[in-house]
Structure 1
Amino acid sequence: MAFSGWPREAFDVLARLQGDPSPSEREAVRPEREGLVRRPMVALLQDLAERDQAYADHSVWRYATTVPAWQRQGAAIRLERNVELGISLDLDGLRVQGAWWYAPPEQRDRYRDAVAGKPGVHLERAVRTLRRRSFTVGGDVMVRVPRGYPADHPRALLLRHRSVIAARRLGTGAWLHQATALDHVQAAAEELRPLLEWFCDHVAGIPTEP
Structure 2
Amino acid sequence: MDGHGGASAEGIPLDALDFFEELAAENTRTWWQAQRARWEESVREPMEWLTEALTDEFGAAHLYRPQRDVRFSHDKSPYKDHQGALAATVPGVGWYVQVSATGLMTGGGFHPTGPDQTARYRAAVDAPATGQALEAVVHRLVGQGWETGGEAVRTRPRGVPADHPRLDLMRHKHLVVSRQHGAPDWLATDAVLDHVRADWRAVRPLVEWMTEHVGASQTPHRR
TM-score of the alignment, normalized to the shorter chain, above 0.5: yes
Q: Which residue of 1 aligns with 2:4?
A: none
Separation in 2, partners of 1:35, 1:192: 29
* Number of matched pairs: 204
Are residues 1:55 and 2:56 paired?
no
The C-alpha deviation readout for 1:82-124, integer Å capped at 9, x for no partner, is 2132111112211012131225332222212211111000111
The residue that corresponds to 2:28 in the other structure is 22
2-structure distance, mates of 1:84, 1:130? 16
Identity among equivalent positions (%) equals 32
What is the match of residue 110 of structure 2? 100
Counterpart of 2:71 in structure 1 is none
Amino acid corresponding to residue 183 of structure 1 in structure 2? D
Counterpart of 1:180 in structure 2 is 191
1:4-153 to 2 correspondences below 5 Å: 4-50=10-56, 52=57, 54-56=58-60, 58-64=61-67, 66-69=77-80, 71-117=81-127, 118-153=129-164
In structure 2, distance between residues paired with 1:10 and 1:36: 5
Structure-1 separation of matches of 2:62 and 2:100:
17
**Gap change, CA 1:23 and 1:140, over 3 Å in 2:** same
Q: Which residue is equivalent to 2:174?
A: 163
Give the distance between the partners of 2:124 and 2:118, measured in 1 at CA.
10
Residues 108 and 13 of structure 1, relative CA distance in 2, 3 Å threshold: closer
Consecutive unaligned residues in structure 1, runs of 5 or more:
none
Q: Distance in 1 between matches of 2:15 and 2:156?
A: 49
Give distance in 1, aligned partners of 2:100 and 2:15.
13
Contact 1:73 1:90 in 2 (8 A): yes
Give the TM-score, by structure 1 length.
0.87
Task: Give structure 2 stretches of 5+ with no counterpart.
Answer: 1-7, 69-76
Secondary structure of 2:206's counterpart equals helix
Distance 1:62 1:124 in 2: 33
Instruction: Tell me the equivalent position of 1:190.
Output: 201
| Secondary structure of the structure 2 residue equivalent to 1:102 | coil
- 2: CA distance, partners of 1:206 / 1:15: 36
